[in-house]
A = this chain, B = another copy of it.
Amino acid sequence: MSDTHRQIRLAARPQGECKPSDWEHADAPAAAPGEGEFAGATKMISLDPAMRGWLDDRPSYLPPVGIGDVMRAASIVEVTASNHPGFAIGDHVVGTFGVQEQVVSDGRGALKVDPDTAPLATYLAALGMPGMTAYFGLLDVGALKEGETVLVSGAAGAVGSMVGQIAKVKGCRVIGIAGGPEKCALLTDELGFDAALDYRADGFKKALRDATPDGVDVYFDNVGGEILDLALTRLAMKARVVICGAISQYNSESRPQGPSNYMVLLVRRARMEGFVVFDYAKRYAEAAQEIAGWIAEGRIKSQEHVVQGAIDDFPETLQMLFRGENVGKLVLELA
């Protein structure tokens, strides 16, 4: 390891879309692990839509990233030095280690992963937070039952692609909403969705109506905005709307768009419920084991979008999420 390593720190709170000047590219001294700690070299960084929310100075489910702080991120590191009995040199470890080349950790919240069992990126995708989010959001919050109809937005994204596939495993009819014909083809041709609708295409509204003749029992929302509003009009009686994200609104400088059709909740006796996956931490192992089994059986594919680059590429790579340029879980793999 070199004497210094590169960190991406928050320089300013973004107004709307993140600009290059919102980030500081800094060099920090290489840190040696103290007693009970290990050091690691970052191999792969997770990029998540939720990151945009962490940059705003307002109360949320996590405190905002402070100005001058290393950007918060999940990542996978390879242990390079260790004074911790649980982590040996060469181990691969996933944790919330931040956007930096080197990390020091006391092991809290860190989990060893085996690169021989699954590709590293899969531990940030199907077996990581997106997989956990889809699993608990759909099955626990959404209370999905066999034979129901599931609609998911952001369907070609990290969470959405898992939501649809888990719903198929559970014997449901699944309709995905995604941007562009390539993503839609992936959903139906490779991920087993029953239908995929391109929200940018003419006739999207009619296509949604035609694809959901009996209504939607669970709508899993990753995007908010107009699509949420439209999805509400398709709810079946006693439907559940799972609020997971609102990527269409994260860069908005004005007040977010609320769902003007929310009174459908009354007409259809439906509910809309939000959740944060961290609340399910005690059940992650159970979920990961079940998902790993589905992957082994060939019933689920972990969809990953790996960008090769340097840590300095983090800000630009993050923007891909908001431009809809990723297919599946977006990660930055350091050369």
Please list the residues of chain A having a beta carbon within 8 angstroms of any beta carbon in chain B: 59-61, 224, 229, 243-246, 249, 255-276, 279
Evaluate contact between A266 and B224: CB separation under 8 angstroms: no
A-B contact pairs, 15 of them (CB 8 A): A60-B267, A243-B262, A243-B263, A246-B263, A255-B260, A256-B263, A258-B260, A258-B261, A262-B272, A266-B274, A269-B273, A269-B279, A271-B272, A271-B273, A272-B272
Chain copies in the assembled complex: 2
CA distance in complex: A249, B255 (Å)? 19
Evaluate contact between B271 and A271: CB separation under 8 angstroms: yes
Q: In this complex, what residue of B is CB-closest to A279?
A: B269
6 new A-B contacts at CB < 8 Å, known A271-B272, A272-B272: A224-B263, A243-B263, A256-B263, A258-B262, A267-B274, A269-B273
CA distance in complex: A134, B224 (Å)? 31
Q: Which of A243, A245, A259, A274 has the most CB of B within 10 A?
A: A274
Residues of B within 8 A of A246 (CB): 263
Evaluate contact between B274 and A270: CB separation under 8 angstroms: yes
Q: A257-B260, A263-B243 are in contact. Are A273 and B272 (CB under 8 A)?
A: yes
Nearest-Cβ distance from residue A173 to partner chain B, whole angstroms: 22
Name the one of B224, B271, B276 contacting A267, with C-beta atoms under 8 angstroms: B276
Q: In this complex, what residue of B is CB-closest to A244?
A: B266
Evaluate contact between A266 and B259: CB separation under 8 angstroms: no
Q: A256-B260, A260-B258 are in contact. Are A275 and B266 (CB under 8 A)?
A: yes
Evaluate contact between A269 and B258: CB separation under 8 angstroms: no
Q: Which of A61, A273, A276 has the most CB of B within 10 A?
A: A273
Nearest-Cβ distance from residue A118 to partner chain B, whole angstroms: 29
Evaluate contact between A269 and B274: CB separation under 8 angstroms: yes
Residues of B within 8 A of A61 (CB): 266-267
Name the one of B229, B266, B268, B271 contacting A258, with C-beta atoms under 8 angstroms: B229
Evaluate contact between A269 and B276: CB separation under 8 angstroms: yes
Residues of B within 8 A of A265 (CB): 243, 272-274
